[in-house]
Structure 1
Amino acid sequence: MDIKEQINSDIKDAMKAREKETVETLRFLMAALKDFEVNNQKREVGISDEEAIAVIQSSAKKRRDSIEQFLAAGRDDLVEKERSGLAIISRYLPKQMDEEEVRAIVQTAVAQCGATGAKDMGAVMKILMPQVKGKADGGLVNRIVKEVLG
């Protein structure tokens, strides 16, 4: 079962269980997937799991950004809603690497390309991103590379 089918199945299960928030979140996720299909002429072929993961990651990033903005505005009620939505969305993402795993891969990439300073960041990222794409938050990777090189 691909990701899109799994989400559809989970929507049905959540409807039966009367989990309003889960249904709402998953419907927004399905809308984002369908929007991607339409905008990229994938309607007849269907969306691949890699493309679906990219869309889901984008949705998760939007939720994280919303959480930051709501925290800054003092809207704790909306923060909780976004956090629970993020938890639901995260079920469909691959397991994320923790900071130590990312740091180890960054160290290897730095050694591999012989980077010595911030000017070599592009070369490090070129080696690094294929290894961590979809498995680690880009902001975390960027921060660790800057720490290691800076």
Structure 2
Amino acid sequence: MALQDQLTADLKTAMKAKDKISLNVIRSIKTSLTNERVKLEHDLTEDDEIAVLSRELKQRKESLAEFDKAGREDLVEPLKEEIKIVEKYAPAQMSQEEVEAIVKQAIADTNAAGMGDFGKVMGKVMAAVKGRANGNVVNQTVKDLLK
């Protein structure tokens, strides 16, 4: 469980440096991982860990959009720092070209002919990208390529 070890080491470093933002984010991630482990009733696999990190990242990005829209600059900057910290643990995001290549392969594999096959293609693509691509980007790419 390399992620847990990394989080624990970074937690100690943040404590020593008195870095409150990092400390809070790392504690939040550790708590989410623990809650997920309890919910699933087994040790987390790498895919489970990626799902938790993706959820943490998505929540923060959604909050950032809301705070930005509301003009709450006092909350935007700390949240951007939190996002950077979570991204450090999450897998690197795929480029648009990589997503397109996976979508094209999924369309070929499922013999998709149009928007009626959208669900089949999305299911195959989301399983392939698993936390490495934003669902909205994948959704739009599939729509564009199935037209």
- Calculate the TM-score normalised by the size of structure 2: 0.91
By how many angstroms is 1:99 displaced?
0.9
Look up the equivalent residue of 1:140 and give its one-letter code.
V
Look up the equivalent residue of 2:10 and give its one-letter code.
D
By how many angstroms is 1:108 displaced?
2.1
May I ask how many residue pairs the two structures share in their alignment? 147
By how many angstroms is 1:97 displaced?
0.3
By how many angstroms is 1:109 displaced?
1.7
Identity %: 38
By how many angstroms is 1:93 displaced?
1.1
Number of the residue aligned with 1:34: 34
Decide whether the 8 Å contact of 1:70 with 1:79 is kept in 2. Answer: yes
Number of the residue aligned with 1:8: 8
Mark the runs of 5 or more structure 2 residues left unpaired by the alignment: none
| In 2, Cα distance between equivalents of 1:94 and 1:86 | 13
Return the match for 1:73 from 48, 70, 75: 70
5 Å-filtered alignment, 1:18-57, equals 18-42=18-42, 46-57=43-54
Decide whether the 8 Å contact of 1:115 with 1:124 is kept in 2. Answer: yes
| In 2, Cα distance between equivalents of 1:110 and 1:29 | 35
**What SS does structure 1 have at the residue aligned with 2:89?**
coil
Distance 1:40 1:79, change over 3 A: same
The answer to whether 1:149 aligns with 2:146 is yes
**What SS does structure 2 have at the residue aligned with 1:134?**
coil
Number of the residue aligned with 1:99: 96
Bigger helix fraction: 2
| In 1, Cα distance between equivalents of 2:52 and 2:110 | 31
5 Å-filtered alignment, 1:76-91, equals 76-91=73-88
The answer to whether 1:116 aligns with 2:113 is yes
Decide whether the 8 Å contact of 1:2 with 1:49 is kept in 2. Answer: no
Decide whether the 8 Å contact of 2:47 with 2:130 is kept in 1. Answer: no
Decide whether the 8 Å contact of 1:57 with 1:93 is kept in 2. Answer: yes
Number of the residue aligned with 1:127: 124
| In 1, Cα distance between equivalents of 2:88 and 2:20 | 17
Mark the runs of 5 or more structure 1 residues left unpaired by the alignment: none
| In 2, Cα distance between equivalents of 1:52 and 1:114 | 32
- Calculate the TM-score normalised by the size of structure 1: 0.89
Structure 1 residue ranges (4+ consecutive) displaced by more than 6 angstroms after TM superposition? none
CA root-mean-square deviation: 1.6
| In 2, Cα distance between equivalents of 1:92 and 1:76 | 25
